[in-house]
Chains A and B, each alone.
Chain A
């Protein structure tokens, strides 16, 4: 969880309002950091889980692989930015292999997909541990220091993270809505048989979409690496939260993804100030369950089912 960032303490009763503004802005930015990461991780899940109906429990490992890519590049002397470029590539490579070796054979067997991808997740975690050893891996942010935002000062790297995440999301929206490949994806999602009928290679479209989601999750891992504790087991928390994003937000639209991320990320960030992080997690889970009960099709979509 992101640590609380405070401005220099100001004394004096007349400064209560700026202090309150400082708190609000800091909380908002912390929430925005978490929401950005959740959106990137959730995007790949929205593709595989929401649209292809594939429950990929190894999705968290794409995040881990991305974070380890940054660590690896830094440990051999490369800069953070090279590592950040390597992160989505690493995620894509792992995702592509996973799709090719396992998932494409199991499209008609959902429970088998759950078991097999969980097995892959265990193998990847333990493989990373064997390759890189026990313990947390240090990743240094590309820029230290803070940025003055008038109401508060905030770590510059987090602002960059938010900006990159937003740009990536914008890019994905444009890709899906404006390109011919995006059109293929939307067609396959709406009706697989019809898509095949009009000559779209659905297998290939699925494979590319899955790999793409893995790459975005890898990017998220790279972005979060300087802030998080980089461990082989780090993926599972992102996995659980990202699934909640998709379930709460409802599948099938970028709007749902944003709504789900805001719900889960915002609630987590706000609760983290009041109660311990694990209790906050439990409350978010309960809230998500209740939200699903009340709006089975997601917050963003209509309540009808």
Chain B
């Protein structure tokens, strides 16, 4: 299939760029792109659910935050051995668990579309409030600081990710592996059935597919990867704060996916990197300008670019083709 080949080609180009990047970048630039890649992973996790099911989760940062807080609490506790590994596992499992509970009630309760969006929106609001008010555990408004970088043993060698280059390589390979895995899931039978459910759930059910279960598993998987991204982020940043589960981040991740192109998995990663670049530049002028611009971006996407930046190419192509035909 030509589409698959195109996707793999773009993916390969991105991987090559990611490999070459350390040759030209200094340590600071590496950490910037590393953090952006983690948010890209987060965006890909949302896209895996939203892009394939057409159901928008408006509180995805809740899973990012849950993963982050679990990772922070595990690694800050000296009594726990293999803290990094257990922390990541706990983060993934915790986010998946919360998603499983909420998803069970919603999907099997017949909640779809806008209703789902609203409930997840409220879930995000509550997670942030919980992070602020449960201060004995979460550190309240100021969050938790001093989270150690990821360190674990592989055989006899110790992997220590406190340096810029190793942490960049580590994050980049995880992002590449997860995006590739998500893509192969969603292009295969699983994704096809999800598309069928999105098109017409009743008919898909009539063909023998357990639609609520499929949606639930997809949602849990998506949340687990968001939790993984959260865990990675707090280790790299060294701190965790209530903003990580907040409404603004939930909003931003939607913009990354929408700008990058919903359903492409790779587009959201690129969207995350690009928009964070823009955000840093704009915030350096005036921090309160960013939410304003973010709002404008939402409106512009809807009316001008409903299929994201990757669609510009296809649009130009059809435009040129149309002109040629006209001549």
Chain A residues near B (Cβ < 8 Å): 49, 53, 55, 57, 102, 105-106, 109-112, 114-116, 118-123, 125-127, 129-130, 236-237, 239-240, 243-244, 247, 276-279, 281-282, 285, 288-290, 292-294, 296, 305
- Determine which of A105, A278, A289 lies in contact with B119 in the assembled complex, contact meaning CB atoms within 8 Å: A289
Q: Return the 9 tightest CB-CB contacts between A and B, nearest first.
A: A119-B298, A122-B295, A278-B129, A293-B109, A123-B295, A55-B114, A126-B292, A240-B122, A119-B295
Residue of B whose beta carbon sits closest to that of A292: B109
Q: A247-B115, A289-B105, A305-B110 are contacts. A237–B294 as well, Cβ < 8 Å?
A: no
Q: A127-B292, A289-B119 are contacts. A119–B125 as well, Cβ < 8 Å?
A: no
CB of A119, distance to nearest CB on chain B (Å)? 3
- Determine which of B109, B291, B296, B298 lies in contact with A125 in the assembled complex, contact meaning CB atoms within 8 Å: B291
Asked if A293 and B298 make an inter-chain contact with CB atoms under 8 angstroms apart, the answer reads no
Residues of B within 8 A of A285 (CB): 119, 122-123, 126
- Determine which of B110, B129, B254 lies in contact with A281 in the assembled complex, contact meaning CB atoms within 8 Å: B129
Q: A276-B133, A292-B109 are contacts. A115–B122 as well, Cβ < 8 Å?
A: no
B152: interface (CB < 8 Å): no
Residues of B within 8 A of A305 (CB): 110
B132: interface (CB < 8 Å): yes
Residues of A within 8 A of B105 (CB): 289-290, 292-293
Give the docked Cα–Cα distance between A109 and B54 (Å): 12
Asked if B117 and A55 make an inter-chain contact with CB atoms under 8 angstroms apart, the answer reads yes
Range class of the B interface residue count: 35 or more
Asked if A122 and B298 make an inter-chain contact with CB atoms under 8 angstroms apart, the answer reads yes
Residue of B whose beta carbon sits closest to that of A240: B122
CB of B130, distance to nearest CB on chain A (Å)? 6
Give the docked Cα–Cα distance between A276 and B129 (Å): 11
Determine chain B's interface SS by DSSP, over half rule. helix
Asked if B113 and A115 make an inter-chain contact with CB atoms under 8 angstroms apart, the answer reads no
Asked if A289 and B291 make an inter-chain contact with CB atoms under 8 angstroms apart, the answer reads no
Residue of A whose beta carbon sits closest to that of B290: A126
Residues of B within 8 A of A296 (CB): 109-111
Residue of B whose beta carbon sits closest to that of A126: B292
Residue of A whose beta carbon sits closest to that of B300: A119
Residues of A within 8 A of B303 (CB): 105, 116
Asked if B258 and A115 make an inter-chain contact with CB atoms under 8 angstroms apart, the answer reads yes
CB of A121, distance to nearest CB on chain B (Å)? 7
In the complex, 5 of the A-B residue pairs with CB atoms within 8 angstroms, ordered by the A residue number, are A57-B121, A244-B122, A278-B129, A279-B133, A296-B110
- Determine which of A55, A102, A118 lies in contact with B251 in the assembled complex, contact meaning CB atoms within 8 Å: A118
CB of B269, distance to nearest CB on chain A (Å)? 20
Residues of A within 8 A of B7 (CB): none
Asked if B302 and A106 make an inter-chain contact with CB atoms under 8 angstroms apart, the answer reads yes
Residues of A within 8 A of B58 (CB): 114
Residue of B whose beta carbon sits closest to that of A294: B109
Residues of A within 8 A of B298 (CB): 115-116, 118-120, 122
Residue of A whose beta carbon sits closest to that of B250: A118
Asked if B288 and A129 make an inter-chain contact with CB atoms under 8 angstroms apart, the answer reads yes
Asked if B102 and A278 make an inter-chain contact with CB atoms under 8 angstroms apart, the answer reads no
- Determine which of A106, A243, A279, A292 lies in contact with B130 in the assembled complex, contact meaning CB atoms within 8 Å: A279
Asked if A119 and B126 make an inter-chain contact with CB atoms under 8 angstroms apart, the answer reads no
CB of A297, distance to nearest CB on chain B (Å)? 9
Q: A293-B105, A293-B109, A296-B110 are contacts. A111–B56 as well, Cβ < 8 Å?
A: yes
B86: interface (CB < 8 Å): no
CB of A128, distance to nearest CB on chain B (Å)? 11
Asked if A120 and B295 make an inter-chain contact with CB atoms under 8 angstroms apart, the answer reads yes
- Determine which of B109, B121, B294 lies in contact with A119 in the assembled complex, contact meaning CB atoms within 8 Å: B294
B177: interface (CB < 8 Å): no
Give the docked Cα–Cα distance between A289 and B106 (Å): 7
Asked if B122 and A119 make an inter-chain contact with CB atoms under 8 angstroms apart, the answer reads no
